[in-house]
Chains A and B, each alone.
Chain A
Amino acid sequence: EPEVTQTPSHQVTQMGQEVILRCVPISNHLYFYWYRQILGQKVEFLVSFYNNEISEKSEIFDDQFSVERPDGSNFTLKIRSTKLEDSAMYFCASSVSAQPQHFGDGTRLSIL
């Protein structure tokens, strides 16, 4: 069964550094998403992306965050200057229309 793949599985970064999280969505999906889950808390929406542009974003997704689809397969989330509170599990998801969003295994981001 096709799946969403994310790399790396774990990223450790110094505070203030830039980090890029990578995702390969399911190939025939058109909608792409990033969510985060702080340890022990609920999953929070960050951003959705369709037709090469952001379709929705949450308050969490401030100027420090950006997304890009640099080629036909990858979908990236960049955090320009990481803060301690950015430590979380980041999930990429993709979907076709109103079908369920399929989630990757996540990248655990640890900010030191």
Chain B
Amino acid sequence: ELKVEQNPLFLSMQEGKNYTIYCNYSTTSDRLYWYRQDPGKSLESLFVLLSNGAVKQEGRLMASLDTKARLSTLHITAAVHDLSATYFCAVDPTRYNAGNMLTFGGGTRLMVKP
């Protein structure tokens, strides 16, 4: 059974600071996604990481994937209040088929304080 673990589960940080959220998973996969969820809202796709060594950046967020270590990171640079949300990583364990189930991590609730 695929397990996806995120840490930390809760992160309170000051504006302007940097931090990294970690996502570990237990089986071979080279498809990993990061989503953002605001309270009571849907999941917004942030990054798609489809190969070992993939790095994607959007604004103050940067995501990377190390398939050998089964680890993805979401790095936050100079955090601002608008980044406050819950961030989920999700792994698709199937290598060759498309359109399969995502297994989500437990989420990291990020709170950025002014």
Contacts and interface: CB of A to CB of B under 8 A. Distances in A.
Interface residues of A, number: 26
A30 B100 CA distance: 12
Contacts of A14: none
A22 interface: no
B41 interface: yes
Interface string B89-114: 01010000011111111110000000
Interface of B: 31, 33, 35, 41-45, 48, 50, 88, 90, 92, 98-107
B100 to A, nearest CB: 6
Nearest to B97: A55
Interface of A: 30-31, 33, 35, 41-45, 48, 50, 55-56, 58, 91, 95, 97-106
Nearest to A6: B42
Contacts of A97: 98-99
